[in-house]
Amino acid sequence: MLDRIGKVVGDIIARCKYEGVVVSDTLAAFICRTIVQENTNVFCLDGDIDAAGINELTQRSVDMLLRKDSPSLETIKMQLDFDLCYEEVEKAQAMKDKKIANLHRSIVALQPSGTSDFETLTTLYRQIFTLLMVHADADKANDRNIEREVAAALESVFPRIGLKSFVSMSPDDKKFQLKELANIVGGIRLFNREIGKGGAGITLSLADTIRDNVTSIAKSVDQEVEDANQTCTDYTEVLLHVHHYNAQSASGASALKRWQEELNNKRQFLSYMQSLHEDIDVSSDKIQRLITTFETELSTLKSLVGSRTSLPKGQVYPIFEALAKAWDELDVEHQLLLARSRSIKALMEFKDSYTRTLGPQSEWILKAKRAGMPPQEEWFEHSEPDNQALLTSSSASTGRKDSDAAAHDDGAAPDDVPIRMSVDSTPEFMQLPLEYQGYCPWTIVQRGGLLLPGDPSLGVIQYRNAYHVFVNERALGDFMASPDKYINAVHSFVVHRPELIYLLRLQESFPDTSMASLMKLLNNKTHVHPLLAPHAVLKVDASTSTPVHFVDKNIDVNYDWNEWSLRRRALKVANLRNCKTVSVQTTLSNFRKDVDSQVWLPQNNASQTGHDKGTNPTKTVTYFAGLRGSPAGHATSQFAEEKDDDGKHDDDAKETPAILSYTFEL
């Protein structure tokens, strides 16, 4: 199915080209999506579409794209071209930011192994030089002079010896230093350009040229806004005259529809011009302030440098950095101003892209001016609704909602009840964001898509966080009676008029045809155009509420009164004591769980046996005996007696002292 849907856009473009009409793929896909959205019961991209359905879808898209002199088709083309006008500037800035971010990451991640790692340090220095070249847009200019200037400024501000301290910084400090380095180098090149000694590749226009561009663009936009306002006023007077005096029969239904389509086209043109006018006013003030800052910093540098060849870095580097920042902001604003200028030129191509049936000297315009504008409170008082069928079908679809809301009006939420807000009761009345860009929803439904600005002085109706304004009291009262009916009727009508989606700012209600969503999907590499891709999966926010006061129930969920149940539980517990836990580790569960085990460490084994061992020496005591004589019959006399060789006692020896030695065994 996706293959066949992918060929739809190619077939549409080929058929239109065969008829001599060049159509972009975005326009072809947008028209195809609007036809699918209008006929959801016939074409469903989420389901199966047969070959006949594909051919019918292709043919309807081709027929709509080949319409000649169609204000509604020109409005759609204008909307698509205006949304794509800033794509080139945003894409170029996004690519530059992406390059800078990638270089920042690579420089921060590059870490040399030491001060002697010359190869890594050289690579790091080259990447820093490449980063400065990207900041200087040298990849577009491809000028050798830019390389020489950047290299000289880099060597002066950040010599190679500074890499040793740079690599020791934290990642955040490195990024900050790189940004500061880029600004200082840029400021040096800007100053050299001013004194005529460099600044190659800097294409910044002079301040007077920028001021002239802002003045001329603002003047042209003012003139276009004034002309578009006058044209819308003429169309509005004619349509009010026709509706108020029941002149539809004289003008014809086809002519009335054509006038409304032309008015819608002019209102879209006016809306874009007014938006550009506001942006240019804000941009001009910012550019004037930046030019003043740039010139002030430049003059400060001139007076500070003068004829001196060297200055303290702490004194001159901050001025270089401020000068570069002012120039960067000024360059961005100047590029946006040029993009707005291109948008104005693109819009001017649709100013007279169809034949106006109500010229400045048209009979109906003169007739309406002669009759004068009817009083506001009498608008549409004497005419019948032009789109009663749409309102009736919308009322039938929302009738049940209205009846339920009426039955439960007292309990309805505040957002579901329309509230009339006045200037006196609402302090921020003038800052309220008006729904449908301030156009009256009653006239859109009742008058076949007629866009009339509402009158805030009648009051603003707040309903479901949206603020509506109306042309008179009758429209306001009808809306307050049944707001859902009119809101649904507006959406049902816009389905058949896709050019009103952007004009009424209903992109959020029709995401399938939103250019913002298309921009997000353009990076999709599939062969199906994003506008024809199936619906993405919808996501919703879900929430839960927590009670403020909890009620304590004091219920023991483990309580059991049954004796046998308690016995069974006791047996289970007893059985668990004989069980052991077994775990396994597989390839899939590897490194997913930390397991710890605790064991008794093995003890050191040792033995000790008792063993007694020793010696028992003898003790010898020596002393003199018989110094005082030996008494008779004493036991020791037997030791003192001496015998001669014949065995007889010597009487003289009895009184002679002797040395005695006694030996004791312990």
Query: Which has the higher per-residue pLDDT, 164 or 528?
Result: 164
Percent of the chain surpassing pLDDT 90 = 1
Q: What is the pLDDT of residue 567?
A: 92
Is residue 535's pLDDT more than 60?
no
pLDDT category at 405 given cuts 50, 70, 90 is very low
603 φ/ψ angles, rounded to the nearest 5 degrees:
-85, 155
pLDDT tens-digit series, residues 434-489: 888 889 999 888 888 888 888 888 888 888 888 888 888 888 888 888 888 889 89
Give the contacts of 425 (CB within 8 A, at least 6 positions apart).
none
185-194, 286-295, 518-527, 653-662: least confidently modelled range: 518-527
94-115 average pLDDT score: 84
Q: What is the pLDDT of residues 1-36, one digit of tens each?
A: 445 566 778 888 888 888 888 888 788 888 888 887
Work out the burial of residue 406: count CB atoms within 10 Å of its CB; fewer than 13 is exposed, 13-18 middle, 19 or more buried. Answer: exposed
Read off the pLDDT band of 564 (50, 70, 90): very high
First to last CA, the chain: 123
Percent of the chain with pLDDT over 70: 76
Using alpha carbons only, give the angle 427, 430, 431 rounded to the nearest 5 degrees: 90
Closest CA to 68 of 32, 20, 27, 24: 20
CA distance 146 to 150: 6
Res. 642 pLDDT band, cuts 50 70 90: very low
For the beta carbon of residue 650, count every other beta carbon within 10 angstroms. Answer: 11
pLDDT score recorded for residue 40: 65
Q: What is the pLDDT of residue 251?
A: 62
What is the residue-wise DSSP string for 494-541?
Answer: HHH-TTHHHHTT-TTT-GGG-HHHHHHHTT--SSS-GGGSPPPPP---
CA–CA separation, 561 vs 565, rounded Å?
A: 8
Task: Break the chain into its structural domains and give their ranges.
Answer: 1-70, 110-195, 206-371
Q: Can you give the pTM of this predicted structure? A: 0.67
- Does the pLDDT of residue 518 top 60, yes or no? no
pLDDT for 272-331, tens place per residue? Answer: 888 888 888 888 888 888 888 888 888 888 888 776 767 777 788 888 888 888 888 888
Q: Is the pLDDT of residue 522 over 60?
A: no
d(CA 481, CA 468): 14
The yes-or-no verdict on residue 552 having pLDDT over 60 is yes
What pLDDT was estimated at residue 203?
67
- Residue 589: both structure tokens together: 């569960």
DSSP 375: P
